[in-house]
Structure 1
Amino acid sequence: MSPSSSLAIPDAAIQAIIGAGRRMDRFHWVPATAGNFSVRLPGGRVAITRSGRHKGFLDADSVMGVDLEGRPEEAGARPSAETLLHCGIYRRFPEAGAVLHGHSVANTVLSRQAGEGIELAGYELLKAFPGLPTHEAAVTLPVFDNDQDIARLQRAVDARWDGMAAISPATGSVIPPGYLIRGHGVYVWARDMDAALARLEALEFMLECELQERRSR
């Protein structure tokens, strides 16, 4: 069943998601059917990739709508299996307008080797993260254990965010705009798709540097 016109997804959101898929596919960050992308829509809606689609070959039919609880707007439609993680980001961060999830070699390998986080320090591209105007900074990217129970994984993410915000209430939040799932991939968000892609590329560059540096030790 096609959604009614009142639930149509704006073409700009569809094209942003299609463009993100092609760009990330060129970097080999979304092999096979891996990865998922979304854009926040007005009225508590989210445009997100359907399950099982190769992200380098998305089209308008590859994008569907859900609400902020992950419920599909189309009867019988199947969104990405990790839709609840996207919704969790949108509920937590009202400034987030787009979310990207990718599976690069660097983020997969490093997350398998990490503890609860990966520290990135001294990189020029740290300036791609909000509140970091200089390379003379450090950010710890959280790492969460993989879990096929996505609702339970989202509860773990929320618990970490609650704890981090409590550390520095004066600043409102000390939460970096991204996290890793162990052996699985990265989540990054920003105000819109262009900003999210820039943030992801900066992060992937730093993770690749970390991987190469560890290999040379």
Structure 2
Amino acid sequence: MSLPAPIPDAAIQAIIGAGRRMDRFHWVPATAGNFSVRLPGGRVAVTRSGRHKGFLDTDSVMAVDLEGRPEEAGARPSAETLLHCGIYRRFPEAGAVLHGHSVPNTVLSRLVGEEIALSGYELLKAFPGLPTHDATVAVPVFDNDQDIARLQAAVDSRWQGMSVIPPGYLIRGHGVYVWARDMDAALARLEALEFMLECELQERRSR
């Protein structure tokens, strides 16, 4: 039986760098969060389970297939790897996925219904197809579920009814997922979304 191909160092370093950057913003407390990069040949590089994302190293990244099956016997990827795989299967242009747990996205997701509407923000231009602030983006919110396969089925079902799918969603009381063509673009998108969510939270507090 042949050994799996090594994970490209560029993918590993992108994941390590994302962890350090998100840790500086306090978006991945304790062992929360997970990150991935799409690899050629239907492979995904993803963080291992139980690692603090601010202190990742080369051993903190492993490979799975698009169904979330580890290439390395006995290895444990992040618990929500199936959500990453669902994004890659649904969006062929997605090259990186980020999941974080900030205070604004956690609190707001507990206060709203099935979506959060973001309107009039300059940083909406960080989302694809929005050249102006004069727009509204509905960010979906899904109920949390420890059965990740069932949660992914709920995400897939919601996509079926949406004409425009924003590159991100929230899980209630849990965190945020975003994706983009590569890690740099995903980080920019996450920072834009987190800024707008923090603005929404502060505005609600001031009412």
Calculate the TM-score normalised by the size of structure 2.
Answer: 0.98
CA distance in 1, matches of 2:116, 2:127: 15
Gaps in structure 2 of 5+ consecutive residues: none
> CA contact under 8 A between 2:4 and 2:71: conserved in structure 1?
no
Deviations 1:159-211 (A, max 9, x none): 000111xxxxxxxx500000000000000000000000000000000000000
CA distance in 2, matches of 1:95, 1:85: 16
RMSD: 0.8
Is the 2:99–2:175 contact (alpha carbons within 8 Å) kept by the matching residues of 1? yes
- Partner-residue secondary structure (3-state), 2:44: strand
4+ residue runs over 6 A deviation: none
Q: Report how far residue 12 of structure 1 moved.
A: 0.1
* Deviations 1:45-82, CA, capped at 9 Å, x for gaps: 00000000000000000000000000000000000000
Unaligned 5+ runs, structure 1: 165-172
Match of 2:173, SS state, is coil
Question: How far is the alpha carbon of 1:112 from its aligned partner?
Answer: 0.5
> CA–CA distance in 2 between the matches of 1:116 and 1:13?
34
CA distance in 1, matches of 2:143, 2:72: 32
The alignment partner of 1:6 has SS state of: coil
Percent same amino acid at aligned positions?
90
Q: Distance in 1 between matches of 2:49 and 2:160?
A: 30
Check whether the contact 2:44–2:63 (CA below 8 A) recurs between aligned residues.
Answer: yes
CA distance in 2, matches of 1:54, 1:31: 8
**What secondary structure does 2:23 align onto?**
helix
Q: Secondary structure at the match of 1:132?
A: coil
Whole-angstrom CA distance in 2 between matches of 1:121 and 1:103: 23
3-state SS, counterpart of residue 104 of structure 2:
helix
Matches of 1:119 and 1:54, distance apart in 2: 32
Tell me the matched-pair count.
206
Note the C-alpha offset of 1:5. 5.9
User: TM-score, normalized by length of structure 1?
Assistant: 0.94
